[in-house]
Amino acid sequence: MQKQLLTSIFIVTFGCINAQHLQVNGANLEDGSGNTIVLRGVNYPIIDDYNVQLNNYADVEHKIDQVALTGANCIRFPWYLNGTHYKDLMNPVQNPGYGAGTIESYVNNGHLSHLLAYTFQQGMIPILEIHNLSGSDNYTSFQNDVVAGFWTDPAVLQVIDENKAYLIINLANEFGDVLGTANPTASLNTFKTNYITAISTIRTAGVDVPIMVDAPDWGQTSSELVNVANDIALGDPLSNTMFSVHAYWDEYANTQPAIATKLTEMVNTNRCFILGEVANTQAGPPTYSCGELDIHYLYPMVLEEACLRSLGWMAWSYDQDCDPTRELTTNGEFSNLTAWGDDFVNNANYGLKATNGCGASPITLNLQENLENELTVSPNPANNWIQVGEEVQSIELISLEGNVALKLSTLENKTLSLNTVSNGFYLIRLIGFNRIETKLLTILK
């Protein structure tokens, strides 16, 4: 059994990254050398998959491997506040692995960090977003629960810090109501001031990665976001804010000229915009709950016009949606693309694999192997202790079954006790200032 497991282990080394994080520069998202990154990928609510526990690393990595086959260079991951997801509310006796504290444990025990790191390892930028307040204008909950309760929680700050070289955070999915209120002008100002406050709070907590802001009105009203984007961007002390619009535009911009006008508005701001969700159906009558409206006529125009302006986009959704026709695959396997999925991936004009400049370009972030700065651990095999190199900031020791056996942050003492860890084979994840290495460690006492 141990020999079979070892055949599936691989080693990945991220070399030195020239910048500590991605950086917005005007209308562009750039790496540390000033190279522009155009994000084109998918949304993937992997957390909603009942058959996937995020502490099962083999399952998680398989799913991300399948997304990578689409050619995507980014994945936007919906996430939830602790205690609010259906997996938190399930009976743990009837549903082993789920129940109170499940989502929190994914954060505290390194599973979310593993998901983000492995996504980047497979060539895709991870974008983490909070989904709870979709369509809401509850600004008290936004500031108290989302900003203070999640994004500045110490465990979440650690996850961000561990993955900061390649991570983007999307503060709140489709939050804020403007056009549906009695006073849209005042509502838009409330939206703007709350986002400026939120970004300032998060920056004060030490977060320097790009922050993504969704348009109000279920993410759809691009013109309203355009009107406040400059003020929000100027309110970021690190000038590292980008903006996202969701193109469910059956009523908002449903012709090619109207789409072109909306996208041109975005480009003319000289701020960094992306189409965070593009799909073939959208919510509409009679229930306005999922994909009642067929907009397959709309998304090709959106993608073609976006390509002309070098804007990025992400499909909703790779898997796990309330409308099966809006999923790119029938079961998360690349071999089972739906008609929508096949078109989004393989269309020669705008698909992820298009070679005409409209596809997803590979992400490199100027990673260079630098063996002089290799993150080290010794001895290996080990018995009761290990010593890590000076550049190692934190470690995770993970069993081959995906369980975190040891997790230590902000290492001052580079000699670490293994007294609490059993004999066996482990993956040790070494996290440096701007790099990550994963190695196989054998413990024999």
C-alpha 150/C-alpha 190 separation (Å) is 21
Query: Token pair for residue 5?
Result: 């497991």
CA pair distance 355, 372, nearest whole angstrom:
37
Q: Give dist(CA 129, CA 170) in Å, integer.
A: 4
CA dihedral for 374, 375, 377, 381, sign (positive or negative): negative
CA dist 15 and 148 (Å) reads: 33
Nearest CA to 123 among 164, 66, 73?
A: 73
Q: Specify the pLDDT at position 6.
A: 31
In sequence order, which residues have a C-beta less than 8 Å from that of residue 144 and are 6 or more positions away?
Answer: none
Q: Which domains does the chain have, with CATH numbers?
A: 19-346 (3.20.20.80), 371-443 (2.60.40.3080)
- Please give the structure tokens belonging to residue 241: 């804010």
H/E segment holding residue 340: helix 339-346
pLDDT at 439: 83
Tell me if 328 sits within 8 A of 315, measured CB to CB: yes
pLDDT digits (tens, 9 = 90+) for 40-75: 999 999 999 999 999 998 899 999 999 999 999 999
Contacts 24+ apart (CB under 8 A), 142-150: 142/172, 142/175, 142/194, 142/198, 143/194, 143/197, 143/198, 143/201, 145/81, 146/81, 146/171, 146/172, 146/198, 147/171, 147/198, 147/201, 147/202, 148/201, 149/81, 149/82, 150/81, 150/82
Q: Where do the H-state alpha helices sit in 111-255?
A: 111-121, 139-141, 154-162, 184-204, 222-234
Q: What is the pLDDT of residue 432?
A: 72
Q: Does 381 sit behind a cis peptide bond, omega within 30 degrees of 0 on the bond before it?
A: yes
Helix (H, G, I), strand (E, B) or coil at 245: strand
As a whole number of angstroms, the distance between CA 313 and CA 222 comes to 14
Q: Would you tell me the crossing angle of helices 184-204 and 222-234 to the nearest 10 degrees? A: 40
Which pLDDT score is estimated for 367? 43
Which stretches of the chain score pLDDT less than 50? 1-19, 367-372
Answer for the pair 259, 275: CB distance below 8 angstroms, yes or no. Answer: no
DSSP state of 32: T
Whole-prediction pTM: 0.84
Could you tell me the end-to-end alpha-carbon distance of the chain, in angstroms, rounded to an integer?
20
